[in-house]
Amino acid sequence: MSAAERIQAIDAVRGFALLGILLMNIVAWAMHFAAYDDPTVAGGATGANLWMWTISHVLVEGKMRALFSMVFGAGIILFTSRLEARGAGVTAADLYYRRTLWLMAFGMVHVYLLWVGEILYPYALCGLALFPFRTLRPRSLLLIAAALMILMSGVSVWTVFDNRATRDEGLEAIRLEKEGKVLDEDQKSAKQDYEEWLEMVRPAPEDIEKDREGFGGGFLEVMVYRAGFVWDFVHANPYYSPWHWDIWAMMLVGMALFKLGIIGGTRSNRFYLWLAVTAGAIGVGVNAFSAWNYIVTRWDPVRRGYFSTTYDLGRLAVAVGYMSLIILMVRIDSLPWLTSRLAAVGRTAFSNYVLQSVICSTVFYGYGFGLYGRLQRYELMYVVVPIWVAQLIISPIWLRHFRFGPLEWCWRSLTYWKRQPFRIAPAAAR
């Protein structure tokens, strides 16, 4: 593959991941956050809604984020290695950290104005710590990533026992209270912890309605309501959160796979076919197992932690399968009308990601169409598909006239602290 083809392969993978991420983000945009993992909370858990949850769990949830994180990690190597090859020296570190800090600033604006589940800020936060890792060998990068994933599985098991204790002690305190006994301080605390935990994992109808009202107001009202979640979800314990270990692990995998030439598209067609089939089969099998157990236990908020131990194995395998398939399609020029459009979406991923937030906030929040909490899970596809189609059509048209997406251009100009060329001259366009 030529250098241009290798970059197109990476862009196509990024574009595919970005479109796929919307399939899961749309759930958190449209209904109570507890419904993301548990369809019995909202959105429906039978019929078409159950099928939608199952397909998403097996093929989408976490996989697209893993894929996007892997490409981000590959981008770290690509960005720094190009600078160092030109003899940039310490300037490479200066540009890298300036680029990352500006991404963090964009993420802060994004999370408070539009979307509490945004990934720009945590990606930047994790990226700040990854610069020294760029020189490690692929094996070392993969070993560190594996250690993080094992640690996250351990946290899942610990969470099961912690949640079980919270439930059992809380129910016992409630039973004693119903019998007319006076609770001591420990029992009162146990009851309060249980009620807070239950409100988070299995909110009552009145809690869901309160949440819908919170996102049903005007722009400032929604912003204030959303800000109440930002600290716990985004800022609290940044480097101790499994959410950030997740991102680190996948970025490190992406860095290793780029160094091994896998993400770069330098392996044989046979290799990519084998990897797509093998990794895909493993991932689908593991995820189907956990999906089945979630369903038969009715998404029990305690027991589902056991099945989370296979989460990273399943999602990483599926993500690698997707990556291999897309790179193979680019290599053999299969469906070029699709891969070229995915690459265009990938080249403008920053702008398209924020555009998704603008569209979804308008569709679901009170200052727009106010559909928050009003659609079933399968009905969310009525929003997702038009966004996909629009971005697949608009992105390549935009890139015929402009070198970058609007936010990419702004980010690049701030990184180099110099206004970058934006429009493509008519002669060059021809």
Q: Calculate the CA 196 to chain-centre distance.
A: 26
Please state the domain extents for the chain.
3-147+212-429
- Whose tokens are 């004693």? That residue is 176
Amino acid in position 405: G
Helix (H) or strand (E) holding 152: helix 138-178
Condensed to tens digits (0 to 9), the pLDDT of residues 233-245 reads: 776 666 667 778 8
For residue 98, give Cα distances in angstroms to 81, 106, 148, 225, 420. 16, 12, 27, 31, 16
Average pLDDT per consecutive 10 residues, the chain (430 residues; last block may be shorter): 69 96 94 92 95 96 95 94 84 94 95 91 93 95 95 88 93 92 91 91 91 93 90 69 85 96 91 97 96 93 84 95 96 93 96 97 95 96 97 97 96 95 73
Are 373 and 211 spatial neighbours (Cβ–Cβ below 8 Å)?
Answer: yes
The residue type at 12? A
Task: At 239, list the tokens.
Answer: 């480097």
Structure confidence at residue 88 (pLDDT)? 78
What percentage of residues in the chain have a pLDDT greater than 70? 96
Residue 231, burial from CB neighbour count under 10 angstroms (0-12, 13-18, 19+): exposed
Torsion of Cα atoms, 155 then 160 then 162 then 167, to 10° = 160
* Residue 135 zone, left/alpha/beta (φ > 0; ψ -120 to 50; rest): alpha
The answer to whether the predicted template modeling score (pTM) of the entire model surpasses 0.95 is no
- The Cα–Cα gap between 87 and 364 comes to 49
At residue 7, the pLDDT reads: 82
What confidence score (pLDDT) does residue 89 get?
A: 81
Return the ∠ at Cα 42 (arms to 27 and 369), rounded to 5°. Answer: 60
In DSSP terms, 43 is beta-bridged to none
Residue 104's Cβ-count burial label (10 Å; 0-12, 13-18, 19+) is middle
From the list 395, 394, 366, 359, the residue with the least C-alpha distance to 380 is: 359
Give the pLDDT confidence score for residue 429 in this predicted structure: 46
> Do residues 77 and 258 touch, judged by C-beta distance below 8 A?
yes
The pair of three-digit structure tokens given for residue 62, joined into one six-digit string = 């976490």
User: What is d(CA 8, CA 15) in angstroms, rounded to the nearest whole number?
Assistant: 10
Give the separation between CA 273 and CA 278, rounded to whole angstroms. 9
What are the DSSP calls for 267-287, one per residue?
S-HHHHHHHHHHHHHHHHHHH
Closest to 245 measured CA to CA, from 148, 138, 124, 359: 148
Nearest to 354 by CA among 407, 311, 398: 407
CB distance 207 to 213 below 8 Å: no
Q: Is 409 left (phi over 0), alpha (psi -120 to 50) or beta?
A: alpha
In this predicted structure, what is the pLDDT of residue 5? Answer: 55
